Amino acid sequence: MRANVVTFVIIIFGAIVLLWRATAFPLTPSRVAGLAIGVPALLLLLTARIQLGRAFSVRAKASNLVTTGLYSRIRNPIYVFSALTILSVIIWSGQFAFLLIFAILIPVQIVRSRKESAVLEAKFGDEYREYKRKTWF
């Protein structure tokens, strides 16, 4: 529970700072698009992190298999929504040179998700394979 509170505080603080700084700039179509993608992505990222609970770890480990909430449809919602959040910042800022970071991030997340998948499959076997069959990424 403590890690969830810390995560919540960090994400909310970051969102407040970003929104506060964002008000200093005029709203252009790209900034509106960035906000339209970023705000829901950030909220879903926070939701995914909270739903993961104690199963969250920096390194791939299998403590328990979370299959409810966002995890009932997406195996790695933290990766999906963090990528969307980063993409929204790129769109909002208009700094498309940062797409290079995004282009590096996606393969890194795919490799990481495969490692996590292998760990979960080794621990949970058929239960994980069935879960994997029913979900995306």
Q: Which ranges of 1-137 does DSSP label H, i.e. alpha helix?
A: 2-22, 29-52, 77-93, 99-124, 126-134
Label residue 28 by pLDDT band (50, 70, 90).
very high
| Sign of CA pseudo-dihedral 51, 114, 58, 96 | negative
Cα separation, 14 vs 17, in Å, equals 5
47-84 pLDDT, tens digit each: 998 898 877 776 777 788 999 999 999 999 999 999 99
Domain assignments of the chain as residue spans, ordered by start: 2-134
Cα separation, 73 vs 135, in Å, equals 5
pTM summary value: 0.84
